[in-house]
Amino acid sequence: MTRAILLVDHGSQLPEANRVLDRIADAVRARLPDAIVEVAHMELAEPSLAAGLERCAAKGAGEVVVCPYFLGPGRHTSRDIPRLVEQARAAHPALRVRVAAPLGFDDRLVDVVLARVDTAE
């Protein structure tokens, strides 16, 4: 079964903010060159989660892992994204869709925080 990764963030009216998720997707594709990797935004920007799921299905995915690009658990990761996934799945009942946990705590994120501290202006 072909698995796809659908990265989902909140979405922004600022295009440069939305491009961050595109860059993450490009980096995932570089590490997994044969993988289906798509992006979606919950609101304020396109593609929507439903459109992202549609792209995954159109590329032949039998399973999609929705990866919330959020740091911690909250309303969006515990309620909103699962609700949007269920709504979008209605168009693809045979598609297996799982929702991953948000990024959460990871020692590698500490390195990122410290790097930002070192480069603060």
Q: Which domain holds residue 100?
A: 3-118
Q: Which pLDDT score, from 0 to 100, does residue 1 have? A: 79
Q: How many distinct structural domains can be found in the chain? A: 1
User: For residues 22 and 39, is the Cβ–Cβ distance under 8 A?
Assistant: yes
In tens, the pLDDT along 57-112 reads 999 999 999 999 999 999 999 999 999 999 999 999 999 999 999 999 999 999 99
Q: In the predicted model, what is the mean pLDDT of residues 4-24?
A: 97
Stretch (H or E) spanning 83: helix 81-89
> How many Å apart are CA 38 and CA 53, to the nearest integer?
8
Total residues found in the chain within this entry? 121
Q: Which pLDDT score, from 0 to 100, does residue 114 have? A: 96
Q: What pTM did the predictor assign?
A: 0.94
**What is residue 78's DSSP assignment?**
I
Question: Domain with 96 in it: what CATH number?
Answer: 3.40.50.1400
Residue type, 48: S
